[in-house]
Amino acid sequence: MMNGVVSIRNKNGEEKVKIERPGGSSSPIWSIAWNPSKDEHNDILAVADWGQKLSFYQLSGKQIGKDRTLTYDPCCVSYFSKGEYIVMGGSDKQASLYTKDGVRLGTIGEQNSWVWTCRVKPDSNFVVLGCQDGTIACYQLIFSTVHGLYKDRYAYRDSMTDVIVQHLITEQKVRIKCRELVKKIAIYRNRLAIQLPEKILIYELYSDDSSDMHYRIKEKICRKFECNLLVVCSQHIILCQEKRLQCLSFTSVREKEWVMESLIRYIKVIGGPPGREGLLVGLKNGAILKIFVDNPFPITLLKLSTSVRCLDMSASRNKLAVVDEHNTLLVYDINSKELLFQEPNANSVAWNTQCEDMLCFSGNGYLNIKASNFPVHQQKMQGFMVGYNGSKIFCLHVYSMSAVEVPQSAPMYQYLERKMFKEAYQIACLGVTDSDWRDLATEALEGLDFDTAKKAFIRIRDLRYLELINSIEERKKRGENDNELFLADVYAYQGKFHEAAKLYKRTGQESRALSMYTDLRMFEYAKEFVGVTDPKSSRILMTKQADWAKSSKEPRAAAEMYLSAGEHLKAIDIIGEHGWADMLIDIARKLDKAEREPLAKCAFYFKKLKHHGYASETYSKMGDLQALVQLHVETRHWDEAFSLVEKHSQFKNDVFVPYAQWLAENDRFEEAQKAFHKAGRQNEAVKVLEQLTHNAVVENRFNDAGYYYWMLSMQCLDIARESEEQRDKMLKKFERFQHLAELYHVYRSIQRYTDEPFSSHMPETLFNICRFLLNNLTKDIPPGISKVNTLYALAKQSGKLGAYKLARYSYEKLQDLHIPSRFQESIELGSLTVRSKPFHDSEDLIEGMMCYRCSTNNPLLNNQGSVCINCRQPFIYSSSSYEVLPLVQFYLEDGIGDEEAVSLIDLEVPHTDQRDARWQDMDNELQALRMDDGFDDAEEDPFTAKMSFEQGGSNFVPVKVSRLVLRSMSRRDVLIKRWPRPLKWEYFRSLLPDVSITMCPTCFKMFHSEDYELLVLQHNCCPYCRRPIDEPN
């Protein structure tokens, strides 16, 4: 409206948005137009007012950007049909072209009066103007392509004001917004020059990275230039104006100027050091010049008769390609000026930047690739070819540049046909398929160009052929130079076997041909090749045929072939692996005993197949006793092994050590010990037992622990007997282990009482066991034995049997120990209950602890151990009920041996003679050791007299007897512990002959006879040493 207001209404005429221009009525709005573009996010309205402003608004009324100032009063605004450009006209009597953002690009046409209206023909570049004087004018707009290319970087104009730089290999693009009309673009290495109406901008890359796409402004040349062509170098820009070339520095200083004799048609930078680049210039009169930026004198390369359209120089600067105005491609040698070849129908040309002899040119809708002087290879392509890098050809079609991947197969095969393998390889490196590489490799190999073949096979990773080439190269180094032989190997690898065989025969290498045929299982061909004259070769063939039969899963046929070829070992391997024992024993029986290796292999397979008899027969045939012994041991045929050891004692260790280990593994430790003894391996026996003992203690199997300690003690005794050096050490160990064996044996009953709900022992037995254990426990309590359990059991049994004083003592001792929670309540209750009882022990119990030597009643618990507090005589206990037995140990006087002592005891002397002898003996005693005032009893036993001792002495005085006393003893009253050497025998006299006592002949433990018989019936063996009842003494 005239008042500067824009009103936006719906179809019913209702106002939705009102836009007020700042100038009000001084800025009447003369023209508005909606942007027809469908790509815009918002609807955009262009508003032109006579305040000489152009503005843009969204539908909401919000202004986009700032007002654009005009230099005239606008009368009309019109968008192109896609909304990319605006046409405006008015009081300046011309129509102007603007971008959609309002940037003026230029004048479309000038008129003689105001332009009142303008319209753009839909989907075209035609513009029609209407003027005040009634004139109508129609213009066609032509938008030329403004672009530049250097190797793989392409820069082009977009939307008239932007420059897009595209990396043709990586397909990356970057947009540079100039906000002015872009007139010219030039690109070179890391430089980009953009000419705008009033200035030239020079950009550079941030880094030297070949894929970097970040440009920044390096320089601005704020001058207006008129030129046909623009070229940029590292430090200069080159302006071309018809015949004149001007070189300017980036600071706008004109450094050089060249004036040509004719119009410049083509100009190109061909590289060079910074500040000294070379330019290739083509003129309309056909002259081709080379100009260096730092040289004022152009160099004439060639002079053609026709005008130049396109130029390029090869990578090594030796060849020049020219397209003239008749579309003919001419290729010259620069040095000799000689025309090498020419091709018709070309409009552009480019040399390959990576290969000297390859170029491509486009024309008539075809792309033409030419290598060296071979025929041209053609393929269809739309567009205009502008660059050639490796296998990529850069093609400009209308406005878009693309990199087309072109396989280089055709030129490669052209080189291969002429056996030019190195040149073919160079072409292949530009880009060919895997099959092309294989063809190149194969052709080069057959042409004996091993270097090229090797490189090509490396490309396709063919290790087979690489190994072949490697072996040929090694042979060449060793001095082989027979090319026919090398070619034969190549043919063999390629599967051309008959040709290879012929070449092998020609070079005198028949064995190789034979080996080839047999490896390929072509036995018929091999037989033909060998003929019937050579028996050795025939046998080799037979063996190889057998190898093949074996690998092709015909083992029986293979075995028979090996046997007929005399290859017994291979035949035995096949038969053994398939378990054909009958066939194997036939071979073993036929073989001579001198053929040890085949026989040993037969025996090995018999062992593997568990045919013990056949293996034994084979080893016997070989006379290999060591292997036979090992066989019996491995198969656990101990009887045969023992019978062999009886004849050949040198194998004792080889049999008894594994036998002992096997017995130990099967829990037969007594037999294992005997076997270790027979093998002379006491240390191993001890180690096994020590480990078993430790395990038994850890697992609370105290009965087993006691038994193992007893076995250990006997083992130590055996070692002491056999080794003088270790005797003292082993005897100490014997005593210690005997003591531990007894402790663990008795503790088992206590452990069962405390851990199990029921006990098989009478209270008196448990009472005796606890007292025995506590009397014998030293400061170092053995592992696994609990003093708490022992005192707890003793306290409970004491309470039951009336030993209240001992019970109270036990409970008090328990207070000093760490008590498990399960006993806590019971102990506290018992401790309280026992205080209500009398503070003394039952007389019957005290009488049970009478010393049979001095008749002293001993306390129930004794700090001094299991000895009499008066005479220090050790108590002898029953190993079942642990009551004190009526036995007194006596010792022999010096000079009396064990055999003599036994023979004297065995003499049954009449009673009267015995008395006389005793009196006589006593008379002798009176002279030497008179200790009594007289004899109260005429019938006194001489042994009883010997039991007397000095009262109050702190040292133990043993009972020593003479020959006379021994003769007076009855055999049934004497018990003898017949210890093996180096221990001495121990003698015990029963003072109550009516009490029947039995001693185990193995462990020498004493029992009440009734108890022993009962326990033996229960366990079928001694309860202590587990000696079976049927075993002889």
Tokens 């060639």 correspond to 302
Question: Helix, strand, or coil here: 3?
Answer: coil
* Beta strands per DSSP E along 325-399: 329-333, 339-343, 348-351, 358-363, 366-371, 377-380, 384-389, 392-397
At 183-225, the pLDDT tens digits run 999 999 899 999 999 999 999 998 888 888 899 999 999 989 9
> Which strands, in side-by-side order, build the sheet including 986-990?
959-961, 887-892, 986-990, 974-977
Find the helix or strand (DSSP H, E) in which 76 lies: strand 74-79
Contact by Cβ (8 Å): 997, 887: yes
Separation of alpha carbons 918 and 986, rounded Å: 23
Q: For residue 397, what are the contacts with CB-CB under 8 A and spacing of at least 6?
A: 382, 383, 384
- Of residues 419, 423, 428, 383, the one with CA closest to residue 403: 383
* Beta strands per DSSP E along 10-73: 15-20, 29-34, 44-49, 53-58, 68-69
Q: What is the DSSP letter of 987?
A: E
- Of residues 356, 291, 346, the one with CA closest to residue 320: 356
Q: Which residues pair with 137 in a beta bridge?
A: 129
769's tokens: 């066991």
pLDDT of residue 731: 86
Relative orientation angle of helices 523-530 and 497-506, to the nearest 10 degrees: 20
CA distances from 576 to 50, 557, 594 (A): 113, 14, 21
Ranges of residues in the chain whose predicted pLDDT is under 50: 532-533, 548, 912-938
Question: Helix, strand, or coil here: 294?
Answer: coil
> How do strand 887-892 and strand 959-961 relate by DSSP bridges?
parallel
pLDDT of residue 321: 93
Separation of alpha carbons 97 and 95, rounded Å: 7
pLDDT of residue 636: 63
Q: Which residues pair with 269 in a beta bridge?
A: 279
> How do strand 287-292 and strand 377-380 relate by DSSP bridges?
unpaired
pLDDT of residue 923: 37
Q: Could you please report the per-residue DSSP string of 428-490? A: HHH---HHHHHHHHHHHHHTT-HHHHHHHHHHTT-HHHHHHHHHHHHHHHTT---HHHHHHHH
726's tokens: 């270790």
pLDDT of residue 917: 36
- Of residues 756, 762, 848, the one with CA closest to residue 803: 848
Separation of alpha carbons 811 and 808, rounded Å: 5
Residue environment code for 688-725, b if the CB has 16+ CB neighbours within 10 A, otherwise e? bbeebbeebbeeebbbbbbbbbbbbbbbbbbbbeeeee
pLDDT of residue 239: 93
Separation of alpha carbons 1009 and 116, rounded Å: 149
pLDDT of residue 31: 92
Q: Which residues pair with 117 in a beta bridge?
A: 130
Rg (alpha carbons) of the chain, rounded to whole number: 62
Separation of alpha carbons 917 and 945, rounded Å: 13
